[in-house]
Structure 1
């Protein structure tokens, strides 16, 4: 009976993910259009900010509770899932075509973030000053990304914008629910089959928490909006790495040794370099398998350390 319940939860999560991803993408594109945003990269960045909203809440709560290290681990791990696992899964099916010039700023900031954080953690503490610097760097990325991304919006009725907003919010709610259902159903099924808690956490839970990004990216591929999908992944990574960790550190200093954080800082650097598009903008399929190998190596490093 319990096995059937877990399977039902998993199936419900998949259904929520499909409809939620479609609604969220349609709503995000509709809002961007109504605001006069012409850049699909910026549209993706807005989607990345929206999908990172649960992490922002967790970071603030963890900081207030005096446990900001939870926020640091959650967001560093989440960035690896986005860059290596999500992009790896998508790319393993087929190449992804993007505009390299429009994504240059986001790639640069995504690459700098783990390097900057490593320098800040050299003394074993992410201070409030370090946190303020991270938040300032997020603001700089937002400024440079938004420049030239607007034009005069077309005349549209308030109902259109309201509908797009409701679609985006409703889609995001379905995606979050999908992640919870998938984590619940799949993790219990995996345990029923005898898998360890670590394996469940590193695979099933990681994939479940990445459901909003993965589903939205897959839907964007079906709708031929690769630029939005990649922009969303990079945007989510930058929001988590700069803004969310910055918020946690501003509320309460984070004490983690560089050695502890090293695997979670090295993997995003390698993953970002692997996803950086060549001059023609076509990210080849083989890089998807390389990204999945990076994720497996990261999980292996965690298992060895544990």
Structure 2
């Protein structure tokens, strides 16, 4: 019914309506993040862990809802492409901007667990897609991914609790000395001033708007791809993935402005994990997903490339440090520029080879 409604729109109006839907997604998810961040202050977790768990759950909600709706209606390319494309956008575009414009110094003990979960969950997804018969991800595999998500969240939480028990009050001093910030998102930050009732209202109202705008976005994207003659996997991994990654982008820009880069990096890495386990997992549990050949040709290789090169940069930085400083990882600014070049090349190559007519 919605697709019939948008069918009467001229192409420019259809594109405008897609942009509006994406903006509503971003704003509603942003309010949802405010509510989640306000609730997070009661947990006592570090900024990086808060970003990788609670805030990432909020910022990946648009991707999850869009992919679940797409899977429900049998649109495998959009369901999988949104998750994979969001990982690429988060890591190559948003991480690139964060590294290039900010100063990213990370605690090794906090980032190690999250980074391994990120790299291995995405790699396991690619391996499964390659090994399953006819490259179809079955529903039971989706439930396995969701179970792994629960394991990740619990393991990350209890690891942080263990660190706090070991070091006690010295954690606050260490974080202040390393520039990673305290346990709040920001003194005077709006999210810190929300009451419990208002935090819950933001969380629930944001979730409702995310679901509604995602439901409207799906038929718009399908019709737009049909008119341009562009395959759905390209639209999903570029336009839709960028749109649903707007919460991560706004969080990263706020982290740069407030000198809380660790929170931004945690959000990006957590979002990568949740895109593999939560977004793709929920979509696959809804309906089996067929992995199209284009994913093996370009989307999966680019995703794995941007993920694993970051680990190589971490290792390279550690080799340059001695003694106490070996407990910190610094991401050099040249790597931020490198990521942006990779993302621009990825987008350009797809549209140069994928647009049949306009």
User: TM-score, normalised on structure 1?
Assistant: 0.74
Q: CA separation in 1, counterparts of 2:83 and 2:209? A: 21
Using a 3 Å threshold, how does the CA distance of structure 1 residues 177 and 61 change in structure 2: closer, same or farther?
closer
Contact 2:67 2:79 in 1 (8 A): yes
Match of 1:47 among 55, 60, 65: 55
Contact 1:114 1:266 in 2 (8 A): no
* SS of alignment partner, residue 98 of structure 1: strand
CA displacement, residues 21-47 of structure 1 (integer Å, 9 cap, x when unaligned):
6x666544431112x232222210211
The count of corresponding residues between Structure 1 and Structure 2 is: 278
Structure 2 residues not aligned, in runs of 5+: 1-11, 166-182, 184-193, 215-227, 319-327
Contact 1:97 1:281 in 2 (8 A): yes
Equivalent in the alignment of 1:230: 265
Equivalent in the alignment of 2:191: none
RMSD of aligned Cα (Å): 3.9
- Does structure 1 residue 303 correspond to structure 2 residue 347? no
Equivalent in the alignment of 2:150: 139
Contact 1:48 1:239 in 2 (8 A): yes
Q: Deviation at 1:205? A: 6.2
Equivalent in the alignment of 1:253: 288
Matches within 5 A, 1:213-292: 213-257=248-292, 260-276=295-311, 277=314, 278-279=317-318, 280-292=328-340
Contact 1:96 1:282 in 2 (8 A): yes
Q: Deviation at 1:49? A: 0.8
Q: Deviation at 1:63? A: 2.4
Q: CA separation in 2, counterparts of 1:25 and 1:130? A: 29
Q: CA separation in 2, counterparts of 1:33 and 1:48? A: 15
CA displacement, residues 188-228 of structure 1 (integer Å, 9 cap, x when unaligned):
xxxxxxxx997x96877654443211111111222222221
Using a 3 Å threshold, how does the CA distance of structure 1 residues 284 and 178 change in structure 2: closer, same or farther?
farther
CA displacement, residues 127-148 of structure 1 (integer Å, 9 cap, x when unaligned):
1232233222222211221114
- Does structure 1 residue 119 correspond to structure 2 residue 154? no
Equivalent in the alignment of 2:140: 129
Using a 3 Å threshold, how does the CA distance of structure 1 residues 149 and 197 change in structure 2: closer, same or farther?
farther
Contact 1:175 1:211 in 2 (8 A): no
Equivalent in the alignment of 1:65: 73
Using a 3 Å threshold, how does the CA distance of structure 1 residues 72 and 273 change in structure 2: closer, same or farther?
same
Using a 3 Å threshold, how does the CA distance of structure 1 residues 63 and 106 change in structure 2: closer, same or farther?
same
User: TM-score, normalised on structure 2?
Assistant: 0.64
Contact 1:125 1:253 in 2 (8 A): yes
Q: Deviation at 1:171? A: 7.8
Using a 3 Å threshold, how does the CA distance of structure 1 residues 76 and 203 change in structure 2: closer, same or farther?
closer
Contact 2:76 2:291 in 1 (8 A): no
Contact 2:29 2:59 in 1 (8 A): no
CA displacement, residues 150-184 of structure 1 (integer Å, 9 cap, x when unaligned):
5899xxxxx732244445667889999999xxxxx
Using a 3 Å threshold, how does the CA distance of structure 1 residues 243 and 175 change in structure 2: closer, same or farther?
closer
Contact 2:71 2:284 in 1 (8 A): yes
Contact 2:97 2:336 in 1 (8 A): yes
Using a 3 Å threshold, how does the CA distance of structure 1 residues 166 and 118 change in structure 2: closer, same or farther?
same
Using a 3 Å threshold, how does the CA distance of structure 1 residues 17 and 303 change in structure 2: closer, same or farther?
closer
